[in-house]
């Protein structure tokens, strides 16, 4: 895997891991030089490749080493800033520690778990203001990941919406709404006479959706902060419940699915899109293998909760897309 891809996978791993507590392995893997070559040697090798390609005006060959070098230099810059932060903390200089934390987050630091757990920066991270800065930076990165330019190519939102066939006036819940990637499309589909409930466990995500719905002058979206184990949907209140890349976070999926089933109106459906279980596949934005939920496992858990497969859409390249209905 190219280094840029490695860096991006680590960013996503950390972002996803933050939610689920699976970041420790990624933290270790991210140690500079842990891919075998000491980073100085690797940088020299990349510079040599780049110079040769530039001298020959071979732009296509120049691109990969230029990008890899940029990623490597960014990692080194972040590590250097982190060292400065540690020194300010050791000197108990809170104002300069805050400044450096700001610089670090602004420069794209993604290893939030390390900030939260490193005793050398505990001087600063013990303060709510510092923790709030880190949370806000994490949310910005997470939203950026969900709204990345390349997502539509794999997520196929137009085809997904067509397959969902949402009707004007329907009541839909978007469970784990994130940045609102599907929420706004659903709001458009149900129209002013319908209602979309956007549920998430993180207030920052709901705040982001609120800003988007305000900008789009949508008045049919209701936002709700919910606990991780209960969508808190009223019985019989939903024509459709959509969960995209969220079911794999749920710990007791049978209990959760029972709650979803209870929330369905007569004829209601639960649509689940999530990454196929494929530990070998290199998929930049998939959760780690131990978090991926195999399709057969999901089907059997949902069947236990009284939900059976009504439609199975196979057109997404990395995810399954299944519609369940009450038995």
Ligand X SMILES: C[S@@+](CC[C@H](N)C(=O)[O-])C[C@H]1O[C@@H](n2cnc3c(N)ncnc32)[C@H](O)[C@@H]1O
Cβ atoms of residues 17 and 113 within 8 Å = yes
Contact between 275 and ligand X by CB under 6 A: the answer reads no
In the complex, minimum distance from the CB of residue 45 to ligand X, in angstroms, rounded to a whole number: 36
Contact between 182 and ligand X by CB under 6 A: the answer reads yes
Measured at CB, which residue is nearest to ligand X?
A: 178
The Cβ-side half-sphere exposure at 9, using a 13 Å CA radius, reads: 17
3-state class (DSSP) for residue 324 = strand
Nearest-angstrom CA–CA distance, 236 and 77? 54
Q: Where does the chain show beta strands of DSSP type E?
A: 171-175, 195-200, 221-225, 238-244, 264-275, 307-313, 319-326
Binding window for ligand X (CB under 6 A); candidates: 117-125, 158-166, 232-240, 241-249: 241-249
Instruction: Decide whether 53 or 286 has the Cβ nearer to ligand X.
Output: 286
Nearest-angstrom CA–CA distance, 223 and 181? 14
Could you say which of 42, 68, 75, 200 contacts ligand X (CB under 6 A)? 200
Contact between 324 and ligand X by CB under 6 A: the answer reads no
Nearest Cα neighbor of 109 from 25, 11, 251, 42 is: 11
Binding window for ligand X (CB under 6 A); candidates: 67-75, 76-84, 239-247, 257-265: 239-247
In the complex, minimum distance from the CB of residue 228 to ligand X, in angstroms, rounded to a whole number: 4
Can you say whether residue 232 is alpha, beta or left, with left for phi > 0 and alpha for psi between -120 and 50 degrees? left
Cβ atoms of residues 81 and 103 within 8 Å = yes
Cβ atoms of residues 247 and 274 within 8 Å = yes
Could you say which of 81, 101, 175, 298 contacts ligand X (CB under 6 A)? 175
Could you say which of 139, 246, 292, 319 contacts ligand X (CB under 6 A)? 246
Contact between 160 and ligand X by CB under 6 A: the answer reads no
Nearest Cα neighbor of 66 from 85, 80, 46 is: 46
Cα angle, residue 94 at apex, residues 91 and 98 outer, rounded to 5°:
120
Contact between 146 and ligand X by CB under 6 A: the answer reads yes
In the complex, minimum distance from the CB of residue 256 to ligand X, in angstroms, rounded to a whole number: 7
In the complex, minimum distance from the CB of residue 218 to ligand X, in angstroms, rounded to a whole number: 17
Nearest Cα neighbor of 265 from 175, 188, 322, 325 is: 325
Q: Please, which residues bridge with residue 319 across strands? A: 275
């903390």: which residue's tokens? 89
Contact between 288 and ligand X by CB under 6 A: the answer reads no
In the complex, minimum distance from the CB of residue 63 to ligand X, in angstroms, rounded to a whole number: 29
Instruction: Decide whether 40 or 228 has the Cβ nearer to ligand X.
Output: 228
Contact between 176 and ligand X by CB under 6 A: the answer reads yes
Of residues 2-21, which lie at the interface with ligand X (CB under 6 A)? 19
Of residues 201-230, which lie at the interface with ligand X (CB under 6 A)? 201-202, 205, 226, 228
In the complex, minimum distance from the CB of residue 52 to ligand X, in angstroms, rounded to a whole number: 41
Contact between 250 and ligand X by CB under 6 A: the answer reads yes
């859409």: which residue's tokens? 313
Instruction: Decide whether 83 or 140 has the Cβ nearer to ligand X.
Output: 140
Give residues in contact with ligand X (CB under 6 A): 19, 146, 175-179, 181-182, 199-202, 205, 226, 228, 244-246, 249-250
């Amino acid at each position: 895997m190219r280094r840029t891809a490695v860096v991006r996978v680590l960013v996503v791993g950390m972002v996803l891991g933050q939610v689920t507590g699976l970041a420790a392995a990624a933290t270790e893997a991210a140690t500079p030089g842990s891919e075998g070559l000491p980073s100085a040697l690797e940088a020299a090798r990349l510079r040599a490749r780049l110079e040769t390609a530039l001298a020959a005006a071979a732009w296509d060959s120049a691109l990969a080493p230029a990008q890899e070098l940029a990623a490597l230099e960014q990692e080194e810059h972040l590590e250097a800033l982190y060292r400065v932060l540690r020194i300010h903390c050791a000197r108990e200089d809170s104002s300069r520690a805050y400044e450096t934390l700001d610089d670090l987050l602004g420069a794209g630091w993604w290893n939030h778990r390390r900030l939260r757990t490193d005793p050398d920066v505990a001087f600063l991270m013990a303060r709510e203001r510092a923790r709030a800065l880190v949370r806000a930076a994490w949310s910005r990165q997470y939203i950026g990941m969900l709204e990345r330019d390349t997502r539509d190519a794999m997520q196929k939102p137009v085809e997904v919406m067509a397959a969902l066939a949402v009707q004007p006036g329907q009541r839909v819940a978007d469970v784990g709404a994130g940045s609102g990637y599907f929420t706004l499309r659903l709001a458009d589909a149900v129209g002013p006479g319908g209602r979309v409930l956007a549920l998430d466990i993180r207030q920052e995500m709901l705040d982001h959706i609120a800003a988007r719905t305000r900008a789009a002058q949508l008045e049919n979206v209701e936002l709700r902060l919910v606990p991780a184990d209960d969508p808190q949907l009223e019985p019989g209140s939903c024509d459709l419940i959509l969960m995209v890349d969220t079911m794999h976070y749920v710990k007791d999926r049978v209990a959760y699915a029972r709650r979803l089933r209870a929330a369905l109106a007569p004829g209601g459906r639960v649509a689940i899109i999530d990454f196929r279980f494929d530990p070998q596949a290199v998929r930049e934005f998939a959760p780690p293998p131990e978090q991926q939920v195999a399709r057969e496992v999901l089907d059997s858990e949902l069947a236990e909760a009284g939900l059976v497969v009504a439609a199975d859409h196979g057109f997404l390249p990395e995810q399954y897309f299944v519609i369940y209905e009450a038995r």
